[in-house]
Chain A
Amino acid sequence: MKHVTALILLGCIVFYGEANALTGRDIAVKMDEVDTSADGQREATMVIERGSQKLVRKLRMQNKKFGVDERTLITFVEPADVRDTKYLSWVYDNPEQDDDLWVYFPTENLVRRISGGGKKGSFMRSDFANEDIEQRAVDDDTHTLVEETTEGDRAVYVIESVPIPIKATDSNYAKRKLWVDKEYWLPVRIEYYDRRDRLLKTMVQGGIENIDGIWTATKLIMETPRRNSKTLMQYFNVAYSLGQPDDAFEQGALKR
C-alpha cells in the first residue's frame, strides 16, 4: 500500500511539474506581456562603430496599441541630412495582413506610402535591420524551448524562434535564438542565424530598469562580426501610458 501511495505521489509530482513546464510559445507570450502600457515614447541614440568610422544617429520613437495591433511613429533627429524624416507604421497582429508604412520627407514636404519589402534593409546604416526595430507579433514565429541555463549570473530560458512560412520571405533570418531572463521576461541576448544556420549578428541587452512598472532594457549592442561592425543604442526619457491621442499616429502627424 505504501508503494502504491508513493507511486501516486510521484506521478502527481511529475504531472504537476509537466503542467507547469513552459513551452517556447508561453515564454514568447510572457515576453510580449512585459509591456503592459497602452502607449509609450522614448528617445534613442545610436553610435555605429564600423572600422575607423563612427556614425551617430538620434531618433524619437512613439508607439500606441490599437487593440491587438500597434502603431509606431519614428522621427529622425540626427544626422542633419535626414532630420525630421518620419516613418509611420501600422503593424497588425494578424500575420496574413500586410503592415502599412508611410514615410515623410521634409525637404519635399511629401507623405508617401511605401511597401514593407524594405524590412531586410539596414536601419539608418546601423547593424540593426528595419525588421529588428519593429515589434514582432508572437505568432509571427514558432518558438521552441531549448534549455534553461544561466547567462552571466542571470537564470534564463533559451528559445529558438523560427519565422512562420508567410513571414520567412520578409526576414533576413531563418532563426533567432533568444536568452530570456526568467525574472524580467526580457531577452538579454539574441543570436540571428541565416538559412545556412550561420551566425549573422548578436545582440545583447542591458541597463534594465523598472520604468513606470515596466521592465525596460535601456542599452543594446548589436554586433555583425563579418562586417567588423558594432552598433550601440541607448534609450533616454522612456515613458509609458502617456495617453497620446490616436491622431498622433495618423498621416497628418507626419508633417508636424
Chain B
Amino acid sequence: MWRGCAIGFGVFAWLCIAGLDATAQEDPFAFDLSAETSEERRWRVSGFFESRNQRFISQDSFLSLRQRGQLEIKYTSHSERWRFFTSAYGEYDSATEDYRSPFRGEVLEAYGVFDGPSTDITLGRQRIPWGTADGRSTIDRVNAVDFRDPIGNARTSSRRPSWVARIEQSTSIGVFEGVWLPIGRDRRIPEQGSPWEVSFLADLRAARDTGAFVLNIEDPKVHEGGFRFLQFGEGFDWSVAVFNGLSDFPLLSLQTADRVRLTPARFTTVNLSAAIGQAKSTWRGEIAYTPDFPLGLGRTTDLGQVIIGWDRTFLRDLYVNVQLFLDRFGDVDDTYGGTFAITNSFFDDATEAGVRGQIANEGQYAIETFADYEFNDAITLTARVFVFGGETGSDLGEFRENDFAEVSLRYAF
C-alpha cells in the first residue's frame, strides 16, 4: 500500500518536474497576432448604436429618450490622394414628440478631400473647428450651434456641420486656409415648447399664437466664409483668422405693431490664437475683435474678447483644464467667467470620471459630473448629472429648470 503510494507520488513528482521543465523551455515569443486584427481596406464601415436617456431632476418626465443608430463610411483611393467620408443617423426619441417628430434622421457629414502634395481641397458637408481655446472659442464660427439640442458637454455646445468648400495651402512659413460656405451655416433654433426654447423666443411665439402680430423667423441661405493662417512650431503654435457670417440665433430686426421679424445678422470677427507648450503645461489664448456686433433692432456695438486657458496632466492621468474669458462690449454689460474640467482614469483605465463646466457673471453656471465606463472596446456606459443656474434672462439661467441625469449605453462597431 505504502509502496504503491510512494511510486504514485514519485510518478506525480516526475510529471510535475517534467511539466515545469517543459514550461521553462516554452518559447514566450511563439505567439502570432496577425490574425487578431482585420486587414485594412479602401472601404471602411463603422458606426454605433446608442441609447441616451435623460431624465429631468426637478420634473417628473424625461428630457430625452434618444435611441440612435449611426453609420459612417470612409473610402480612400489607392493613391491615397482622394478620400470620401459620410456619416448618417436615424433615431427615435419618444420624449420629444410634443414638440418635435420622434422619428428623425439625416446625413451629418458628407465630403470628399483631395490631398495634394501641398494643397488640400475639401468639398461637402463637414465640421471644421477653429480656434485654440477649449470649451469656448471666439472664432469657432464655421459651424452653427444646434439650439434644438445644444449641449455637447457642460463646456461645449453641439454644432451642425456646414456645406463648405475649403482649400488648405501648406507653405514653408505655415498653412493658409480658406473656407467658403455658399449657403451659409446650417442654423437650427429650438422648437416651440422645447425645454431648450429661450424665454424671448417662447414669449414671441406665444404672442403670435394669440394673434397679436405676425412673426416671421427667417433663415437666409446666403454665403459666409473666412480665412486663416496657421503656424506650428517648436513649443509654440499661433494663427490669425477672420470670419464673416451671420449670427447663430436670429435677432429682432424689424418690429411694427402687427409684424415682427427675426433674422440672423451679419458681422465679421478677427481673431489671434496661440498655444504654447511649457514643460508639462499647455497655455492657450485667444484675442478677438468684432466691430459692429449686432444686438438686435439695428443696434450694434464693438466687441472685444479675450480667453486665457491652461491645462496640464498631473500624476498619471489627472487632467486639469481651466479657462478664463471676458467679452467686453462697448454699450452693454460685459460677460466674464471661466470654464473648467477635471478628469481622471480609474479601474485600469476602464473608467474616466470627472467634473466639467462653466461659470459666468449673473450667477450663471452649467456643471456636469460624469463617469464613462468601458466594458470592452465596443461597449461604453455613461452616467452624468447636469445642473444649470443663473439669473432669469441670462444665457444659462434660461435652462435652470432643465437639470437632468443621464444614463447612456453605446455599442461601437
- Report which A residues bind B (CB closer than 8 A): 45-47, 50, 53, 55-56, 58, 77-81, 83, 90, 92, 97-98, 100-102, 108-110, 112-118, 120-122, 125, 170, 172, 204, 206-207, 219, 221, 227, 229, 232-234, 236, 247, 250-252, 255-256
Question: Whole-angstrom distance between the alpha carbons of A172 and B316 in the complex?
Answer: 8
Q: A-B pairs with CB below 8 Å: how many?
A: 138
Across the interface, which residues of A come within 8 angstroms of B118, CB to CB? 247
Across the interface, which residues of A come within 8 angstroms of B412, CB to CB? 79-81
Q: With A80-B378, A234-B34, A252-B168 known to touch, is A115 a contact of B311 (CB < 8 Å)?
A: yes
Most chain B CB neighbours (cut-off 10 Å) among A46, A90, A100: A100
- Report which B residues bind A (CB closer than 8 A): 27-29, 31-34, 36-38, 40, 44, 46, 48, 80, 83, 115, 118, 120, 126-129, 132, 168, 170, 175, 230, 232, 234-235, 237, 275, 277-282, 311-317, 319, 345, 348-350, 374, 376-378, 380, 412-413
Q: A45-B34, A98-B277 are in contact. List 18 more A-B contacts (CB 8 A).
A: A45-B36, A47-B36, A77-B37, A78-B377, A80-B46, A80-B412, A83-B46, A100-B235, A112-B132, A113-B275, A115-B312, A115-B313, A120-B315, A121-B317, A221-B28, A234-B31, A251-B230, A252-B168
Across the interface, which residues of A come within 8 angstroms of B28, CB to CB? 204, 206, 221
Q: Are A251 and B232 in contact (CB under 8 A)?
A: yes
Across the interface, which residues of A come within 8 angstroms of B277, CB to CB? 98, 100-101, 113, 115-116
Q: Sample 26 A-B pairs with CB under 8 A, ordered by A number.
A: A55-B377, A56-B377, A58-B36, A79-B412, A80-B413, A98-B279, A109-B127, A109-B129, A113-B237, A115-B279, A115-B282, A117-B313, A122-B316, A125-B350, A125-B374, A170-B280, A207-B29, A219-B29, A219-B31, A232-B31, A234-B33, A236-B34, A250-B170, A250-B232, A251-B232, A252-B120
Question: Whole-angstrom distance between the alpha carbons of A231 and B232 in the complex?
Answer: 35
The 3 A-B pairs with the shortest beta carbon distances in the complex, nearest first, are A117-B280, A206-B29, A117-B313
Q: Are B281 and A117 in contact (CB under 8 A)?
A: yes
Q: Are B235 and A98 in contact (CB under 8 A)?
A: yes
Cβ-closest chain B residue relative to A120: B316
Question: Whole-angstrom distance between the alpha carbons of A58 and B83 in the complex?
Answer: 21
Question: Whole-angstrom distance between the alpha carbons of A100 and B127 in the complex?
Answer: 26
Q: Are B170 and A247 in contact (CB under 8 A)?
A: yes
Question: What distance in Å separates the Cβ of A230 from its nearest Cβ neighbour in chain B?
Answer: 10
Most chain B CB neighbours (cut-off 10 Å) among A58, A80, A83: A80
Question: What distance in Å separates the Cβ of B145 from its nearest Cβ neighbour in chain A?
Answer: 15
Q: Are B170 and A125 in contact (CB under 8 A)?
A: no
Question: What distance in Å separates the Cβ of A195 from its nearest Cβ neighbour in chain B?
Answer: 13
Question: What distance in Å separates the Cβ of A114 from its nearest Cβ neighbour in chain B?
Answer: 6
Across the interface, which residues of B come within 8 angstroms of A109, CB to CB? 126-129
Q: Are A125 and B349 in contact (CB under 8 A)?
A: yes
Question: What distance in Å separates the Cβ of B94 from its nearest Cβ neighbour in chain A?
Answer: 27
Question: Whole-angstrom distance between the alpha carbons of A131 and B241 in the complex?
Answer: 35
**B377: contacting residue among A79, A92, A221, A256, CB under 8 A:** A79
Question: Whole-angstrom distance between the alpha carbons of A50 and B375 in the complex?
Answer: 12
Across the interface, which residues of A come within 8 angstroms of B278, CB to CB? 98
Q: Are A45 and B129 in contact (CB under 8 A)?
A: no
Q: With A58-B37, A172-B316 known to touch, is A81 a contact of B126 (CB < 8 Å)?
A: no
Question: Whole-angstrom distance between the alpha carbons of A111 and B76 in the complex?
Answer: 20
Question: Whole-angstrom distance between the alpha carbons of A121 and B345 in the complex?
Answer: 9
Across the interface, which residues of A come within 8 angstroms of B319, CB to CB? 118
Across the interface, which residues of A come within 8 angstroms of B32, CB to CB? 234
Across the interface, which residues of B come within 8 angstroms of A170, CB to CB? 280
Q: With A58-B37, A117-B314 known to touch, is A227 a contact of B235 (CB < 8 Å)?
A: no
Across the interface, which residues of A come within 8 angstroms of B235, CB to CB? 97-98, 100
Q: Are B129 and A50 in contact (CB under 8 A)?
A: no
Across the interface, which residues of A come within 8 angstroms of B281, CB to CB? 115, 117
Q: Are B120 and A121 in contact (CB under 8 A)?
A: no
Q: Are B348 and A125 in contact (CB under 8 A)?
A: yes
Across the interface, which residues of B come within 8 angstroms of A78, CB to CB? 37-38, 377
